[in-house]
């Protein structure tokens, strides 16, 4: 049964009057991430449906509870896509959850993040007010870009009810190269060099592949763009990798597509916990950051900007000191099997500076003066 907008507004107003905390939940596929999840659950999945899709205008507008898979299927039928490849982490993923989480997939470093594709949004603030920001065209940029501020807010500012997204045509050509035998330092140097050239480099992933026989270092790069540009880049990049001693294989697109999806959804072998005592950490660093002096195997995406590793919660201080030295931060993405939420005592997110803390407090006070959405998910 389709819930009405005023029902959500009434729930917020009642919570404000009773001083209750509401925890927003769409498909629940990202419940694992966040410092705290306390509060009375308010389901948003019932507020669903695609409102409009204008293929010629490259824009789609949908209610927040709309299944993400449904949106992607509609776009695919018109030869279009969400270029930032948002992870689902389960079949129940919704459009609102995608925006609230602000997570992007393998192509993020080349095409941009979720927030870069948000044209407008409608949401209910902590006073139960129905607010609209932005629009359905890129030139609607007057005033503060509140709609993009919602990306990555994790339901702490209000209930996202509708969102308008910029979409892109599916690239006419695609190719994936597997470069075997490149150490991490060589792979990063090569990615930095390619990043400075006019190449259609769309995504990359480096890993020490222990499933191979024998185990070896592997760099995967995906190219997307015009047919001639991709064909030319394949030749250039193959020669560059071979000059460093790599064995280069041009992979079959149909077969490797599932691997890129597995990378997005964290279902590759690397993302299977090697021990019940280890947590999955996400290190966000500049693309130009060097090899980090850490005693943990890594899976590296975004041309070096996103690095995954398994380490105990007790390694939090060392991980954060190392990433801060190169201008980055570390996030505890998944807790260990043995300790569960107890691991979160080290902090899911890196501590913010005093300035950022003040800005966040002021924003939350403006959008949610009664603390209706103060679940503590992003910290105290």
- pLDDT surpassing 50 at residue 140: no
Q: What is the average pLDDT across 11-19?
A: 96
Residue 135 is predicted with a pLDDT of: 63
Question: Pairing state of beta strands 22-25 and 40-43?
Answer: parallel
Fold of 5-169: 3.30.465
Which DSSP letter does residue 289 get? -
At residue 136 the predicted structure's pLDDT band, cuts being 50, 70 and 90, is low
- Fold agreement between 5-169 and 273-346: no
Q: 213-217, 311-315, 358-362, 373-377: which range is least confident on average?
A: 213-217
Average pLDDT, the chain: 94
- pLDDT surpassing 50 at residue 167: yes
56-95 pLDDT, tens digit per residue, is 999 999 999 999 999 999 999 999 999 999 999 999 999 9
- pLDDT surpassing 70 at residue 102: yes
Is residue 259 a contact partner of residue 268, using CB atoms and an 8 Å limit? yes
Q: Taking the model in full, what pTM does it have?
A: 0.93
Give the start-end residues of each E strand in 36-172: 40-43, 50-54, 59-63, 80-81, 118-124, 130-134, 159-166, 168-169
Domain 173-265 has CATH 3.30.70.2190: yes
Is residue 51 a contact partner of residue 162, using CB atoms and an 8 Å limit? yes
Residue 211 is predicted with a pLDDT of: 75
322-380 pLDDT, tens digit per residue, is 999 999 999 999 999 999 999 999 999 999 889 989 998 999 999 999 999 999 998 86
What ranges do the domains of the chain cover? 5-169, 173-265, 273-346
Residue 352 is predicted with a pLDDT of: 87
Q: What is the average pLDDT across 204-219?
A: 88
Beta bridge partners of 216: 209
At residue 144 the predicted structure's pLDDT band, cuts being 50, 70 and 90, is low
Residue 139 is predicted with a pLDDT of: 47
Residue 215 is predicted with a pLDDT of: 82
Fold of 273-346: Alpha-Beta Plaits (3.30.70)
At residue 1 the predicted structure's pLDDT band, cuts being 50, 70 and 90, is low
Q: What is the average pLDDT across 253-275?
A: 96
**3-state percent breakdown (helix, strand, coil) of the chain, nearest 5:** 35, 25, 40
Is residue 281 a contact partner of residue 307, using CB atoms and an 8 Å limit? no
Q: Give the sign of the dihedral formed by CA 183, CA 184, CA 188, CA 194.
A: positive
Alpha-carbon span 380 to 35, nearest angstrom: 9
In sequence order, what are the residues at sequence separation of 6 or more whose Cβ sits closer than 8 angstroms to the Cβ of residue 224? 107, 171, 173, 174, 200, 202, 230
240-263 pLDDT, tens digit per residue, is 999 999 999 999 999 999 999 999
* 3-state SS assignment for residue 149: helix
65-75 pLDDT, tens digit per residue, is 999 999 999 99
* pLDDT over 70, % of the chain: 97
Beta bridge partners of 299: 207, 308
């Amino acid at each position: 049964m389709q819930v009405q907008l005023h029902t959500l507004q009434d729930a917020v107003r009642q919570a404000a009057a009773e001083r209750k905390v509401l925890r927003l939940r769409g498909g629940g596929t990202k419940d694992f991430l966040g410092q705290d999840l306390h509060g009375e659950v308010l389901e948003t999945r019932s507020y669903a449906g695609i409102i409009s899709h204008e293929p010629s205008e490259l824009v789609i507008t949908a209610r927040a509870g709309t299944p993400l898979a449904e949106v992607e299927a509609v776009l695919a039928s018109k030869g279009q896509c969400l270029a930032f490849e948002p992870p689902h982490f389960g079949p129940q993923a919704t459009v609102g959850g995608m925006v609230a989480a602000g997570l992007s997939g393998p192509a993020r470093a080349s095409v941009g993040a979720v927030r870069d594709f948000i044209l407008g949004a409608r949401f209910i603030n902590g006073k139960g007010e129905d607010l609209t920001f932005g629009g359905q065209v890129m030139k609607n940029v007057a005033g503060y870009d509140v709609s993009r501020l919602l990306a990555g807010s994790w339901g702490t500012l209000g209930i996202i009810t509708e969102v308008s997204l910029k979409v892109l045509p599916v690239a006419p050509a695609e190719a994936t190269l597997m470069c075997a035998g490149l150490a991490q330092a060589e792979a990063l140097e090569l990615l930095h060099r390619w990043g400075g050239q006019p190449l259609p480099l769309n995504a990359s992933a480096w890993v020490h592949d222990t499933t191979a026989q024998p185990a070896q270092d592997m760099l995967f790069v995906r190219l997307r763009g015009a047919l001639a540009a991709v064909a030319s880049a394949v030749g250039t990049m193959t020669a560059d990798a071979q000059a460093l001693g790599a064995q280069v294989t041009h992979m079959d697109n149909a077969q490797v597509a599932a691997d890129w999806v597995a990378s997005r959804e964290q279902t590759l072998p690397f993302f299977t916990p090697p021990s019940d005592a280890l947590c999955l950490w996400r290190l966000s660093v500049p693309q130009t950051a060097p090899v980090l002096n850490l005693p943990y195997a890594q899976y590296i995406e975004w041309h070096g900007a996103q690095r995954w590793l398994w380490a105990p919660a007790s390694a939090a201080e060392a991980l954060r000191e190392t990433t801060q030295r190169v201008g980055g931060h570390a996030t505890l993405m998944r807790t260990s099997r043995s300790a569960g939420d107890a691991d979160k005592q080290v902090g899911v997110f890196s501590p913010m500076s005093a300035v950022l803390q003040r800005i966040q407090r002021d924003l939350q006070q403006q959008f949610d003066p009664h603390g209706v959405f103060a679940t503590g998910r992003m910290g105290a």
